[in-house]
Chain A
Amino acid sequence: MVLTFQVVTLDSNSPDQEGSLVFRDGRLLAVITRLSDIHPELAGRWFVEATFGRVPIVYPPPFETIDEFEDWVTNAE
């Protein structure tokens, strides 16, 4: 499994605009956002906006690093 990332700007109607498309083996798997400072305790963390394939009914807590997000994707299989 190879994860690749493509930086995008989100139109989220909020200051949370810095995001990334996440591809698994070339197919779109998730959209993640770097949280802005409107989230005082979570600013800078990566939030999973949407996933395809395995839909998380329980929202995972925002990840501190991309590595943590990758671990979550791997373990969600």
Chain B
Amino acid sequence: MVANHANVLSTITDKLQSLGMLDQSDRDALGSLVFTVNTAPANHDLVKQGEVSTDLQVLLDGYACRYKITAEGARQIVSFHVPGDILDAQQLLLGCADHFVQTITSVTIGAVPLAEFRRIMKLRPNVAEALWRDTLIDASIYREWVLNVGKRDMTSRIAHMLCEFAFRRENAGLGPPGRCELPINQHQIADATGLSAVHVNRVLHELARNGLIAPDKPEVTIVDWPQLCRIGDFDPSYLHGAA
């Protein structure tokens, strides 16, 4: 996607519109936002734990994740992000970042000064409500991830994670989940599911053997979407139609 002024603003406005009822005045206020457009390569930390940011970052193109890391160096991916997502909304009201945000692919980012966004939130209650809703949906996704990592077996856990990624990718307008290729590798799946890369590789082979994903691909390609949803116990209602 070529990031020009119009489509950067429409990405932000469309995302907030999907989260709440914006009127024309709200859209005009969002249209007045000042921003910069940045690019970053894959596997690049956009936000580092402990840092204070001056900008709100909106993912315009590509994929990213949030992660935390233990003192021993073990990494847990806590969420995946698709175009349209606000990557660090917590910076609006909290201080320094309590986690990392990293790119999965090369990305294009729209960076809006936090002060600008705070000003619009105070002036436009509909915008503030949409951001509140975004935060609540974030919390819902985290609840589902706790359930996934804590209580689903390896196969179901990985299937659920793949389903969520594919479903959210479709919601971002990037094509239907059946026969779609997901740009995540086995190490990223392992970090998102609390499993080793060896266990992930075994499960992906099992899913391929059963015809749910394509065999021998570096990236996951879903072949049988309905069956993958069934195995993954995937019910998208926790995404509340807007994530």
- Chain A interface residues toward B at CB < 8 A: 12-14, 16, 35, 38-39, 42, 47, 57-59, 62
Contacts and interface: CB of A to CB of B under 8 A. Distances in A.
Given A39-B198, A42-B198, A62-B198, A57 B205 contact: no
Interface residues of B, number: 11
B211 to A, nearest CB: 16
Chain B contact residues: over half helix, strand or loop, or mixed?
helix
Contacts of B72: 57-58
B74 A14 contact: no
A47 B198 contact: yes
A59 B196 contact: yes
B159 to A, nearest CB: 15
What are the 3 tightest A-B residue pairs by CB atom distance, in nearest-first order? Answer: A14-B202, A59-B196, A58-B74
A62 B199 CA distance: 12
Contact of B202 (A13, A57, A59, A62): A13
B144 interface: no
B201 A39 contact: yes
21 contacts: A13-B206, A14-B202, A14-B205, A14-B206, A16-B198, A16-B202, A35-B198, A38-B201, A38-B202, A38-B205, A39-B198, A39-B201, A42-B198, A47-B196, A47-B198, A57-B72, A58-B70, A58-B73, A58-B74, A59-B197, A62-B198
